[in-house]
Amino acid sequence: MFMFLHFPLVMSKYENQITIFTDCLEEFPDTDELVWILGKQHLLKTEKSKLLSDISARLWFTYRRKFSPIGGTGPSSDAGWGCMLRCGQMMLAQALICRHLGRDWHWEKQKEQPKEYQRILQCFLDRKDCCYSIHQMAQMGVGEGKSIGEWFGPNTVAQVLKKLALFDEWNSLAVYVSMDNTVVIEDIKKMCCVLPVGADTADESSPDSLAASSQSKGSSAPYPAWKPLLLIVPLRLGINQINPVYIEAFKECFKMPQSLGALGGKPNNAYYFIGFLGDELIFLDPHTTQTFVDTEESGLVDDQTFHCLQSPQRMSILNLDPSVALGFFCKEEKDFDNWCSLVQKEILNENLRMFELVQKHPSHWPPFVPPAKPEVTTTGAEFIDSTEHLEDFDLEEDFEILSV
């Protein structure tokens, strides 16, 4: 049995938070300040068009209506409850863009796009057979203790993406979600350094064997390949409001070339933060309800409603709810090593650290076991079409950070 909330009550509770998107969003001010967007800087005064082009290239996922009911009898719209799920989709989509097309790739309206772009977009269509659809995310959330139609917090979305990624063989991502504000280098290397297909994997899980393989690049022994990493760091940066001591470190994260932005917002109002200007955060807002878009007869998706063509919205960083989740993408091992160096320099030199980065797995923690796809004979989409198998996943301790 699926767990559903009474949908009219959900809509009634949140209907005052569903915003109408207009053409009158506030324009960027005329200033000499730099704008940072996902690791790229733009001089606002002379590069405004380049800046807006960079922002519009990001995939923009919003509320949708008139898709097939989730679970067969559930909601056919996520308006009022799906904003954090949509933000999670946007962060993951940016990781996939970086993986297949690169951070410098730009989208142009009504221009033929690479086949990889279309394939990425199809991963997120609102159909139960699409690996990161609203259907899959909502149903996998049942295993995290969330009823279908219930609002998610950032950590729940992170845990759901980590589990759905196990069924996504094309993108083949390693998804690491930090615990207790701590990123463990040893665990990430263990998860991302994989021996090539066909190599002897008897000792693959042993850190010592991986280290030995790493030193054998010039020998006949197999050299571990790096599985592209999606790193998500859920944080609480205060009690009821963000502690100002964290502001500069938080902004530094958007400067890192590995940046995927941040999930957060206000209570029950999630945004996807992609950069900043001064002390204002720049974000993509999912609170626009659009009609479901499906694949056309040509096999392509009309992508016009999946990009935000207006000037993006901004909010003071001091108005940010203290609960956020930072995202980073490391396509190669050298990207992760560089990220660690940047964290050491920009984050760990603060008196009050935003999070910790440690080399070894803490001895008082349970042993780290890289997540593995459950032993089932169905595809990922079929697997989570029913919630009866969700007990095969470990239920992560929830870290709900935007309080209800």
Active site residue 389: no
What is the predicted pLDDT for the residue at 252?
A: 96
Catalytic, 100? Answer no
What is the model's pLDDT at position 309?
Answer: 87
pLDDT tens per residue across span 29-53 = 777 789 999 999 999 888 888 999 9
pLDDT band for 382, please (50, 70, 90 cuts). Answer: very low
Residue 217 domain flag: no
Residue 1 lies in a domain: no
pLDDT tens-digit series, residues 243-295: 999 999 999 999 999 999 999 998 779 999 999 999 999 999 999 999 999 99
Q: Residue 22: pLDDT above 70?
A: no
Q: What is the mean pLDDT of the chain?
A: 83
> In the prediction, which pLDDT does 97 show?
97
| Closest by CA position to 283, among listed 262, 303, 304, 266 | 262
Quick: pLDDT tens for 183-197.
999 999 999 998 765
Please write the tens of the pLDDT for every residue from 89-125: 999 999 999 999 999 999 988 888 999 999 999 999 9
Residue type, position 51, single letter: L
Quick check: helix, strand or coil at residue 53? helix
**Structural domain boundaries enclosing 181:** 30-194+224-358
DSSP structural state of residue 313: E
Q: What is the pLDDT of residue 45?
A: 81
Domain annotation covers residue 87: yes
Confidence band (pLDDT; 50, 70, 90) for 354?
very high
Q: Are 360 and 195 in contact (CB under 8 A)?
A: no
pLDDT at 375: 62
User: Alpha carbon of 292 to those of 35, 124, 184, 295: distances in Å?
Assistant: 33, 11, 40, 10
**pLDDT above 80 for 380:** no
The one catalytic residue among 42, 100, 135, 287: 287
Query: How does residue 222 score in pLDDT terms, banded at 50, 70 and 90?
Result: low
pLDDT at 388: 47
State the Cα–Cα distance between residues 267 and 321, nearest whole angstrom.
7
Catalytic residue among 42, 83, 187, 253: 83
pLDDT band for 59, please (50, 70, 90 cuts).
very high
**Residue 389 falls within a domain, yes or no?**
no
CB of 339 within 8 A of CB of 258? yes
The arithmetic mean of pLDDT across residues 224-232, rounded, is 94
Does residue 387 sit within a domain? Answer: no
Does the pLDDT of residue 177 top 90, yes or no? yes
Helix (H) or strand (E) holding 158: helix 154-164
| Cα separation, 356 vs 349, whole angstroms | 11
Q: Which amino acid is at 115?
A: K
The DSSP H or E segment spanning 271 is strand 269-277
Q: Quick one: which of 313, 319, 290, 318 has its CA closest to 18? A: 290
Query: Does 149 reside within a domain?
Result: yes
Q: How many domains does the chain have?
A: 1
Assigned domain for 202 exists: no
Helix (H/G/I), strand (E/B), else coil: 290 = strand
Is the per-residue pLDDT at 63 higher than 60?
yes
Q: Residues 141-158: pLDDT tens digits?
A: 998 899 999 888 899 999
Whether pLDDT at 333 is above 90: yes
> What is the pLDDT confidence band of residue 311, given thresholds at 50, 70 and 90?
confident
32 tagged catalytic: no
Domain assignment present for 252: yes
Q: pLDDT at position 36, please?
A: 96
Distances (CA, A) of 37 to 91, 258, 274, 281: 13, 11, 6, 10
**Per-residue pLDDT averaged across 285-307, rounded?**
92
- Which three-class secondary structure state does DSSP give residue 165? helix
Q: CA geometry: angle at 318 spanning 315 and 322, to 5°?
A: 105
Residue tagged active-site, from 285, 308, 330, 335 = 285
In this model, does residue 213 exceed pLDDT 80?
no
